[in-house]
Amino acid sequence: MYLKAREPVVLNFNAFMSFHPDPKSEYNDQLIRATNMTVSALRFMKTFRAGYLEPEVFHLNPKKSDTELFKKLIRFVPSSLSWFGAYMVNAYPLDMSQYFRLFNSTRLPKVSRDELYIDEKAKHLLVLRNGNFYVFDVIDRDGNMLKPSEIQAHLKYILSDNSPTPAFPLGYLSSENRDTWALLRKNLLDNGNEEALQKVDSAVFCLSLDDFPVKDFVHLSHTMLHGDAANRWYDKSFNLIITKDGTAGVNFEHSWGDGVAVLRFQNEVFKDSVGEPAVSPQSQPASVDSSRAVRRLDFKLNDALKAGITKAKQNFDSTVEALTLDMIQFQKGGKDLLKQKKVSPDAVAQLAFQMAFLRQYNQTVATYESCSTAAFKHGRTETIRPASIHTKKCSEAFVKEPSKHSTEELQKMIMECSEYHGRLTKEAAMGQGFDRHLFGLRCLALSKGTSLPDFYQDQAYARLNHNIISTSTLVSPAVQLGGFGPVVPDGFGVGYQVHGDWIGCNVSSYPARNAKEFLQCIYKSLEDIFNVLKGKKISS
């Protein structure tokens, strides 16, 4: 699905998640944070590759299974039987097959279908600054990590390099239509850039150092979701982005894996870089010759490549200019109150989106919520379809005729929505959704050259898959904010987080829709739902 898509990955597929600042403010210096996060990312990679990373487990009874005692005991059980021990205490190991593509991995543009590339032998980091590409080894010949003081010295050297932004920054090519980019890449290879591109593709990951501070949350979202394409390589499995004021985030390519793998990486990197920082503000960079260790990549460009970069920049700038990003923090309640009232926090957030759209556009539309299917081997995602007859009935009662219904009746409708949404979520997580099955059958038909059944040509099927509201949620102690672009030109991209006592919502749209107005409608909807749950009347 991802590799055959020809649209640019930026805004269409790549998502972002930003880290909380380091609690110790002096550690939010760009060089200090970049060094600490790079070291923590390498520690994570080495732990994973050595087979010591704690597995992802879904605990149905955490009091029994999520304990130090159980973890110690299960270590001594042979791996062929350990699953049985976990099953006995209702703990279910989740698929982690995506993790190996976190590092040394990139998506290569090819005509009609891209490829995923990985080279675990490569030992260097790719650093982007001012549109310039730098590489240096972070792993030595024996497989050991470079000393943190040396990594700090090399990053300091890059930050002090005054090289101007190239006249034709190569980063823009990774923001282009995939077929266009595939042909330009072939031209790059034919023009003698094979070794430089190999360095980019095989790097452990891409560290993007931006030369400006973040102004506010909206600026933060723009910076992490797309930023300046000159200073990104969107095809890498992920870009770790660190701005002038130490604000950090991850922009990740989606074909190799999903948010669950990236979130685990972010949780571990945040916890390690904050709890066990490799360098401090008092640390001195090692006295090494960084001018020899760090290499700036030079690319040979002909007129066709220069024209391709110029065109890619124009396309990127006009797309980004058309994008609106905005956010709200609803402070009048969150997960704690909703659980007390015995309703699903996720169901309430999704109900608020349905109500908001009805309030804004007087209709309900196809809505997508992603759900991990990591309970299965090689599981990716299934779709939860939050728009239902229950949410429609409830939304209409709240938006169109609140005075006709008693508070008890409205509470009952919220409960119905919650129960139904809970059922949909369980079905999706257990592979009982319909979207991926239908997609699989469609792929089979196309691969065998058989004609698609009439069902796939139906108007209703087309409308169902034109997801005007596309949503995703991830809550973590490491993540401050997350988001993505709309998946259709007349849609909204909704990233949301339901915390203990507040709800955060980050919405993107193009000119066909109004993200700011939609957020106001979401706020009003959440306010109404919480008031009703507290037994209050709602104002029209």
Residues marked active site are found at 254
User: Residue 509 pairs with which residues in a beta bridge?
Assistant: 324, 492
The Cα angle at residue 251 between residues 245 and 254, in degrees rounded to 5: 175
Q: Name all contacts of 191-194 with Cβ < 8 Å and 24+ positions apart.
A: 191/300, 191/301, 191/302, 191/305, 192/300, 193/299, 193/300
CB 493: neighbour CB atoms within 10 A?
26
**435 three-class SS:** helix
Pick from 514, 503, 439, 430: nearest CA to 473: 503
Pick from 414, 427, 429, 425: nearest CA to 343: 414
The span from the CA of 3 to the CA of 178, in Å, is 9
Kindly report the backbone phi and psi dihedral angles of residue 492, in degrees, each rounded to the nearest multiple of 5, phi listed first.
-120, 140
H-assigned helices in 108-193: 148-159, 178-190
The span from the CA of 498 to the CA of 28, in Å, is 26
For residue 247 the two structure tokens come to: 């604000």
C-alpha distance from residue 394 to each of 313, 423, 492, 498 (Å): 46, 17, 21, 21
Q: Are 209 and 200 in contact (CB under 8 A)?
A: no
Q: Are 179 and 185 in contact (CB under 8 A)?
A: no
Pick from 184, 405, 190: nearest CA to 311: 184
User: Residue 498 pairs with which residues in a beta bridge?
Assistant: 503
User: Residue 132 pairs with which residues in a beta bridge?
Assistant: 129
